[in-house]
Amino acid sequence: MKDRPVDPAWVEPTDAELDAAANALIGGCPPARLSPDCLACFFATSPDELENEKLSFLFSYWQKHTDPQTGHQTRAEFDMLTLLPAVGNIMILDVLRDGFDARYRLYGTGVATHAGRDWTGETVSEMNRTTRNNLALMYRSIYLAAYRARRPIYSLHRSPDWVGAKCWRRVVLPMTYEGDVCSQFIVGNIPVDPFELSPEEKARQQARVRKAST
């Protein structure tokens, strides 16, 4: 396992770039426009499109509890007890800055195991500034597009080589509890071809994240 250094040339996406990428995604742009490592990205309309049992469960649950007339969900329905079949692979994010950023309220243990850190309490932009890989535009434009369209988005992307998974399958579910504004995302995140990191590799992975945070 490589311990890839932080890229000193990394530049954070601007709001203008995020806005353009989100609009392009809503318009059906090719996944590679978001990142060379983005293999698939589209608005999902059926659980059968998601190629994973847990993601299909989450999509079906979201669909069941979404009012077809208003597009609203009922907050009380989405507690962890009702989502147990997928709980270790769930992330919950609170929307910030009209969808341009979001803060992790919950970062599932099954995700953190392979990602090298529990990002609960951090924002997506803070995570991107720490990890500094070319997925920042993809992550944040997908959230912004889901916020604006209020429709679920599925993606498949390759992982950085220091993460304990070959790829990630994700579905972003926009939550609009009241009014017409999305206020939260529930995200299913599934590692593809996960592999067990040795204790030494885990230590290097965690040291890398700590170093990038300072």
What's the pLDDT at 5? Answer: 46
* pLDDT averaged over 10-residue windows placed end to end, the chain, 214 residues: 49 94 93 88 94 93 88 78 83 96 93 84 92 87 96 90 78 90 94 61 51 45
pTM given for the model = 0.85
Distance (Å, rounded) from C-alpha 43 to C-alpha 68? 17
The conformation of residue 123, written as its DSSP 8-state character, comes to B
Q: Which token pair is 135?
A: 């997925």
Local structure of residue 97 (DSSP, 8 states): G
Q: How far is CA 87 from the centre of its chain?
A: 15
**Which pLDDT score is estimated for 209?**
46
Residues 6+ apart with CB under 8 A from 90: 58, 80, 83, 106, 108, 186, 187, 188, 189
